A = this chain, B = another copy of it.
Amino acid sequence: MLDERKLSVLRAIVEDYVTTREPVGSKALAERHALGVSPATIRNDMALLEDEGYITQPHTSAGRVPTDTGYRLFVDRLATIKPLSAAERRAIGTFLEGAVDLDDIVLRTVRLLAQVTGQVAVVQYPSLTRSQVRHVEIVSMSPRRLMVVVISTTGRVEQRVLDVAVALDDETVADLRNRINEAVDGKMLSEMPDAAASVAASMPAEARPAVAAILATMVESLARDGEERVVLSGTANLALFGTDFPGSIQPVLEALEEHVVLLRLLGEATAPSQVSVRIGRELPVEGLSSTSMISATYGATGVGHLGVIGPTRMDYPGTIGAVRAVAQYVGRVVEESS
Whether the Cβ atoms of A250 and B257 lie closer than 8 Å is no
The distance in angstroms between the C-alpha atoms of A72 and B101, with both chains bound, is: 44
Q: Does A238 contact B (CB under 8 A)?
A: yes
Query: Which residues on B sit within 8 Å (CB–CB) of A149?
Result: 139, 147, 149, 159
Residues of B near A239 (CB, < 8 A) are: 248-250, 253
Interface size class of A (residues with CB under 8 A): 20 to 34
Copies of the protein in its oligomer: 2
Which of A139, A235, A248, A256 has the largest number of chain B CB atoms within 10 A?
A235
Taken together as a complex, chains A and B put the C-alpha atoms of A226 and B257 apart, in Å, by 22
A151 to B151, CA, bound (A): 17
Chain B residues lying within 8 Å of A103, measured Cβ to Cβ, are 226
The residues of B that contact A251 with a CB separation of less than 8 Å are: 236
A242: contacting residue among B101, B147, B248, B254, CB under 8 A: B248
As a 0/1 sequence over residues 126 to 166 of chain A, the CB contacts with chain B under 8 angstroms (1 = contact) are: 00000000010101010000010101000001010100000
What is the CA–CA distance of A137 and B147 in the complex, to the nearest angstrom?
A: 10
A292 interface residue (CB < 8 Å to B): no
Tell me which residues across on chain B come within 8 A of A226, comparing CB atoms. Answer: 103
CB distance from A228 to the nearest CB of B (A): 13
Q: How far is the CA of A104 from the CA of B126 in the complex (A)?
A: 21
Which residues from B are CB-within-8-Å of A135? 141
Which A residues have a C-beta under 8 Å from some C-beta of B?
A: 101, 103, 135, 137, 139, 141, 147, 149, 151, 157, 159, 161, 226, 233-236, 238-240, 242, 248-251, 253-254, 256-257
